[in-house]
Structure 1
Amino acid sequence: MVKVSVVFHSIYGHIYKMAEAVAEGAREVEGAEVEIYQVPETLPYEVLEKMGAIETKNLFAHIPVLTRSMYEDVLAGADAIIFGAPTRYGNMTAQMRTVFDGLGGLWAKNAFVGKVGSVFTSSQTQHGGQESTLLTAYVTLFHLGMVIVGLPYSETRQMRMDEITGGSPYGATTIAGENNTRQPSENELAMARYQGRLVTETAKKLAGK
């Protein structure tokens, strides 16, 4: 078996839908054991309510929350980890950053060296910091010693010009729109599935499984 953990932060559900697509692609690989987790939400209920996010957060309330006590098994115990978070001014959200900042003990043990890491994201606009979010996330994964897998141009859907779409060689992306009402398109979800499958195939090869 090759163990894959998909770890995401989502508020309006876009990254959750992408995470499900990533996991779907990963499960297409024979012998893959794939689990999805959401990181703890740090925004107070009152703030989420003002943001109009309570209903959307409830859509994925059934997804297990990744607590610190689970890091050893879910993160260090995986052959591949695929992280997903929205952009915030060209970087990942603070909720996801908190998880990364809590990995010092496992980092000191070289727990992630040689494991496969990958990232996907979303933004409100077409050029709202998606690539910088992916690239800055990979800086952390490099420090952890992970082997990076993005979304190569063999996934030709990222080169479409006949519709507005996310996607870059650094990872699958989606565009939420000004009011967060635009949902991930089939083209974007297909790229997410491709990324999940490629990451899992790579991890399987590296693990000799």
Structure 2
Amino acid sequence: MSKPNVLIVFYSRTRSTEILANAIAAGAVAEGAEVRLRRARELVGPEVMQQVPGWFDSAEAMNAKYEKPTEADAEWADAIIFGTPTRFGSISSELKAYIDGLGGLWFAGKLNGKAGSVFGSTSSRHGGNESTLLSIYAPMAHLGLIIVPLGYADPSMFKAGTPYGATHVSVHDTLVPDDDHLAVAEYQGRRVASVARSLRCVPSVTEAA
């Protein structure tokens, strides 16, 4: 049986979301998946980024590590997992710009039936982790992705995360994801890869006939 292809597209400014992305990738690989990790790019120039301490340098470092996501990545994938920091209770503009750029694949029906999942992080407690993840469910439904939530099907879920996807609260960038949050992220990678593999094995009506 061939490996399921899992695309993890994330935006991260101060590494919290990046760390979760890597844990999800590790879980997917453990489940036998082929993984592509991609970082969405900034929509503003260096002059704006340099007004926020550390933003420009962090972006430069992460962009050197991760390729920019493309339409070809989404077409290649059997599952797409989106990750974002919270921006006023919703998705970051950087990740949303990538999703908005998938219109050509959407129009051609090339995303229908792929697995989809989400994860994210926020700086402040009660800063909108759950509302952010749920805000991504809507465009995933429009793209035709089969949304894969986490539920409570793994013991890690009773210690951290949300039933909608892995999360983390950095408390104004003073904390990185701990073992409990990373365990949820790894479980998410395993779960999505498993679902993607199962979806690939289900024959269509015409194939079954």
TM over 0.5: yes
- The whole-number CA distance in structure 1 between the counterparts of 2:170 and 2:16 is 7
Task: Please tell me whether the aligned partners of residues 13 and 59 of structure 1 are also in contact (alpha carbons under 8 angstroms).
Answer: no
- The 5 Å alignment of 1:2-41 reads 2-30=4-32, 32-41=33-42
- The whole-number CA distance in structure 1 between the counterparts of 2:176 and 2:183 is 13
Corresponding residue to 1:189 among 172, 182, 198: 182
User: Helix, strand or coil: the match of 2:65?
Assistant: coil
Which one is further off, 83-92 or 46-55?
Answer: 46-55
| 1:58 CA displacement | 4.1
Pair 1:203 & 2:196 matched: yes
- The whole-number CA distance in structure 1 between the counterparts of 2:178 and 2:61 is 18
- The whole-number CA distance in structure 1 between the counterparts of 2:68 and 2:34 is 18
Report how many residues are paired: 198
Which one is further off, 4-13 or 99-108?
Answer: 99-108
Map of 1:88 onto structure 2:
87
| 1:46 CA displacement | 2.6
Map of 2:206 onto structure 1:
none
- The 5 Å alignment of 1:75-114 reads 75-114=74-113
| Aligned-residue RMSD, C-alpha | 1.5
User: Helix, strand or coil: the match of 1:92?
Assistant: coil
Deviations 1:19-38 (A, max 9, x none): 110100000013x1111011
Paired residue type of 1:12: T
Paired residue type of 1:119: V
Q: Any runs of at least 4 consecutive aligned residues in structure 1 with deviations exceeding 6 A, and if so which?
A: none
- The whole-number CA distance in structure 2 between the counterparts of 1:74 and 1:183 is 28
Which one is further off, 123-132 or 19-28?
Answer: 123-132
Paired residue type of 2:68: V
Deviations 1:54-105 (A, max 9, x none): 3433442311112xxx30x200221001110101111110011111111111
- The whole-number CA distance in structure 2 between the counterparts of 1:54 and 1:186 is 28
Which one is further off, 150-159 or 114-123?
Answer: 150-159
Paired residue type of 1:134: L
- The 5 Å alignment of 1:27-66 reads 27-30=29-32, 32-52=33-53, 53-60=55-62, 61-66=64-69
Deviations 1:123-165 (A, max 9, x none): 11221111111111011101111111111212333333xxxx5
- The whole-number CA distance in structure 1 between the counterparts of 2:31 and 2:156 is 20
- The whole-number CA distance in structure 2 between the counterparts of 1:49 and 1:11 is 13
Deviations 1:166-200 (A, max 9, x none): x100000011112x121111111111110011000
Percent of residue pairs bearing the same amino acid type: 38
| 1:49 CA displacement | 2.3
- For structure 2, the 5+ residue unaligned runs are 203-209
Map of 1:129 onto structure 2:
128
- The whole-number CA distance in structure 2 between the counterparts of 1:128 and 1:141 is 22
